[in-house]
Each structure stands twice: as structure tokens, then as C-alpha cells.
């Protein structure tokens, strides 16, 4: 079965994922800054996935995927490739199930992410982000019998990330507000794919916006082209979590139907957003996690008069990198 023939997860699949995650994943709070609301003439509800177990949303999908495996599959152990947040999600989930995990990480992954994966008890092997093809690199481990936990192109992963959408719906109802828009980071598209399926089901008029780093705006250009296009090679970004070569095949089939659009933000816009998150929200947000806020602070998404949810997807950033961004104002 190729990924293209898989069906997107339903809201019922996401509810099952939420049941599995209960007591393990954090129902992350919506955080608000009266000062930021005033500055943008809007109501901004920040979904603080930086406070999620492992410091990013990735735990949700990884745990749900490993839950969906058979006992026999779990005994064989799992393998994953990831710049770090998915790696930590898989490592922590495997530890909770008491199974073996091997993670392939790019050699330039942030040190804190590598350290956390090892601390969770997983084995780490390194690949070269530019030179190595990820699937070719992990093939020998699959041949050993390990089961792949893909970073995004998988219904169980997307269902896990979709639990953020279910929480956003319930939390905004409790606040008595109607969400005009949801703004979320986009790398391979699993996070925004899951959220958009959940939100569009309950709130069909809410618009969903993807935010990507400049030069990694493959989803934005693919939406415009009507089919998947790749990023030009040779670029880099401070948003290590969002550096993909093209949208996922499975996730793009979802996102082409659910997204209102995508915008791209520069490294300096992301740094300004990280500083704002520190000063106004008191949250540590990593570069890839801050692109949604950067889309607002840079004026690329106009939210005046609206109520919007912005997903701060992760907070795993090295001390020195973070100090450099905060001190570089």
C-alpha cells in the first residue's frame, strides 16, 4: 500500500488518539497577552505546545503511531529519522512502551535535541542533511525488522497531531469565542494537516494558514501550483524543525483541501517573534515553533479585528542559540 492510497484520519480517529494520550500528553493551555492583543487589535490565543511532553507537539503523533502497532511489531523495535522534535517524541513514546528505538538525526541537529533523545534511552545514528537520502539511510534498519515511525506522512501520526485541533475547538468553546483563523507552522505538513481536519470538521468557516520559513515554502508554492513542488537545494534556515525538501504526499492531499493559504517568514522575522514570545508570553519558543507568531508580527497575516489561534509548536533550542537571539535585539 503506498501512502497516496491511505485515507485521511477521521475525527473519530483523532478522538481515539486523544483517549490514548490522556494522562500522558499535556492538554496544553491557551495563553494570551493583553499587550499583544492590543498591539494587533485582535484576540490571539497561543496554543503552547512548547509545554507539551518532550517540548514539542511531536509526542502526540509518535505515541499514537506506536500505540497503533501490534505487539509483534513493537517487539521488533522502531526507527525514525528527524532533526530532533519527532526524534524526542518517538524516543519518549518508545520508553513508555518499554521498546527499543533507533533514531537517525542530521549531524547538525541542535545539541539539546540529541541529548534529550539519548536521555530517553534511544540509540542515535547521524546522517548528513544534504548528502543522505533519509529513506535510503534507514533502509538497513528496516531490513533488520524495525518498524518505521514516519515524521508526518502517516494517518496515525496525523491523527495524533489532530488532537491539538480537538483541544483548540473545546478550549475556544469554553472561552466563548469563535475562531476566525488558526495559524500553524508547516514543515512536512502533519501538524497543520491534523489540526485542519479537526477544525474544519467542527468549524468549516475557520480559515487555516500554514507558515513556512523562507526558501522552504514548498507547501505555499505547491498550493499555488496545484501539485507538490520541491524547494531549491542549497538554502538553510534557523528553523531546523521545518527544513523539508517537499510536502508529504499524504499530508499534501489533506492540506490542498483544508488550507486557506501559506506565507513564508525570514530568519530575522522569526528572531523578532522569539523575542516577543519571551517578553510578552514568557515562553521559550524555538525558531520553527515561532513562525506563526512571526507571520503576525511581520504583518504577513493581517489579523485586525479577528480571534485567531496560533500554534507555538516547540521550544527545544540550545542555550547559546537562544541567548544569541534574545541578546541580539
Gap between the Cα atoms of 157 and 318, Å rounded: 26
Q: Which residues pair with 30 in a beta bridge?
A: 47
Q: Are 296 and 39 in contact (CB under 8 A)?
A: no
DSSP-derived pairing of the beta strands 123-127 and 101-106: parallel
CB of 88 vs a copy of itself, minimal distance in Å: 11
Pick the closer one to a copy of itself by CB: 29 or 299.
29
Residue 96: which of 67, 139, 72, 124 has the closest Cα?
67
Gap between the Cα atoms of 76 and 78, Å rounded: 7
Can 230 be counted among the known catalytic residues? no
Q: Are 45 and 172 in contact (CB under 8 A)?
A: yes
Q: Is the dihedral of CA 139, 141, 145, 149 positive or negative?
A: negative
Q: Which member of 31, 36, 186, 296 binds a copy of itself (CB under 8 A)?
A: 31
Catalytic, out of 58, 113, 200, 271: 58
Residue 293: which of 206, 209, 225, 218 has the closest Cα?
209
Counting Cα atoms < 13 Å in the Cβ hemisphere of 313 gives 35
Catalytic, out of 82, 196, 207, 313: 313
Pick the closer one to a copy of itself by CB: 299 or 328.
328
Residue 284 in the binding site for a copy of itself (CB under 8 A): yes
Residue 177 in the binding site for a copy of itself (CB under 8 A): no
Residue 322 in the binding site for a copy of itself (CB under 8 A): yes
Can 65 be counted among the known catalytic residues? no
Residue 210 in the binding site for a copy of itself (CB under 8 A): no
Three-state DSSP at 191 gives helix
Residue 320 in the binding site for a copy of itself (CB under 8 A): yes
Residue 57 in the binding site for a copy of itself (CB under 8 A): no
Q: Are 194 and 160 in contact (CB under 8 A)?
A: yes
Q: Which stretch binds a copy of itself (CB under 8 A): 142-150, 201-209, 256-264, 312-320?
A: 312-320
Q: Which member of 275, 287, 303, 311 binds a copy of itself (CB under 8 A)?
A: 275
Residue 186: which of 128, 251, 129, 134 has the closest Cα?
251
Binding mask 60-99 for a copy of itself (x = CB under 8 A): --------------------------------x-------
Q: Which stretch binds a copy of itself (CB under 8 A): 8-16, 156-164, 255-263, 277-285?
A: 277-285
Residue 319 in the binding site for a copy of itself (CB under 8 A): yes
Residue 145 in the binding site for a copy of itself (CB under 8 A): no
Neighbours of 167 (CB within 10 A): 23
Q: Which residues are catalytic?
A: 58, 313
Footprint of a copy of itself (CB under 8 A): 26, 29, 31-32, 34-35, 50-51, 53, 55, 92, 112, 116, 119, 275, 278-279, 281-285, 315, 319-320, 322-324, 326-329
Amino acid at each position: 500500500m503506498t501512502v497516496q492510497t491511505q485515507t485521511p484520519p477521521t475525527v473519530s480517529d483523532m478522538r481515539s488518539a486523544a483517549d490514548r494520550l490522556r494522562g500522558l500528553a499535556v492538554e496544553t493551555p491557551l495563553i494570551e497577552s493583553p499587550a499583544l492583543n492590543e498591539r494587533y487589535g485582535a484576540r490571539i490565543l497561543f496554543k503552547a505546545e512548547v509545554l507539551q511532553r518532550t517540548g514539542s507537539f511531536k509526542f502526540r503523533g509518535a505515541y499514537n503511531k506506536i500505540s497503533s502497532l501490534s505487539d509483534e511489531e513493537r517487539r521488533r523495535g522502531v526507527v525514525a529519522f528527524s532533526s530532533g522534535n519527532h526524534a524526542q517524541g518517538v524516543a519518549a513514546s518508545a520508553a513508555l512502551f518499554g521498546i527499543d528505538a533507533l533514531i537517525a538525526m542530521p549531524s547538525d541537529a541542535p545539541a539539546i535535541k540529541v541529548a534529550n533523545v539519548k536521555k530517553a534511552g534511544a540509540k542515535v545514528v547521524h546522517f548528513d542533511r544534504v548528502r543522505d537520502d533519509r529513506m535510503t539511510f534507514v533502509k538497513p534498519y528496516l531490513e533488520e525488522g524495525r518498524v518505521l515511525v514516519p515524521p508526518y506522512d502517516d494517518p496515525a501520526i496525523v491523527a495524533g497531531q489532530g488532537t491539538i485541533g480537538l483541544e483548540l475547538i473545546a478550549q475556544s468553546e469554553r472561552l466563548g469565542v469563535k475562531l476566525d483563523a488558526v495559524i500553524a507552522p508547516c514543515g512536512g505538513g502533519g501538524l497543520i494537516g491534523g489540526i485542519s481536519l479537526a477544525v474544519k470538521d467542527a468549524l468549516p468557516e475557520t480559515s487555516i494558514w500554514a507558515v513556512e520559513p523562507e526558501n522552504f515554502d514548498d507547501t505555499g508554492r505547491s498550493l499555488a501550483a496545484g501539485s507538490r513542488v520541491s524547494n531549491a537545494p542549497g538554502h538553510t534556515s534557523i528553523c531546523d524543525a521545518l527544513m523539508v525538501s517537499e510536502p508529504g504526499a499524504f499530508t499534501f492531499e489533506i492540506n490542498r483541501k483544508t488550507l486557506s493559504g501559506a506565507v513564508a517568514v525570514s530568519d530575522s522575522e522569526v528572531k523578532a517573534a522569539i523575542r516577543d514570545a519571551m517578553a510578552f508570553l514568557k515562553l521559550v519558543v524555538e525558531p520553527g515553533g515561532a513562525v506563526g507568531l512571526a507571520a503576525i508580527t511581520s504583518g504577513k497575516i493581517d489579523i485586525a479585528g479577528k480571534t485567531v489561534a496560533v500554534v507555538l509548536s516547540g521550544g527545544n533550542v540550545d542555550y547559546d542559540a537562544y541567548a544569541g537571539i534574545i541578546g541580539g535585539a
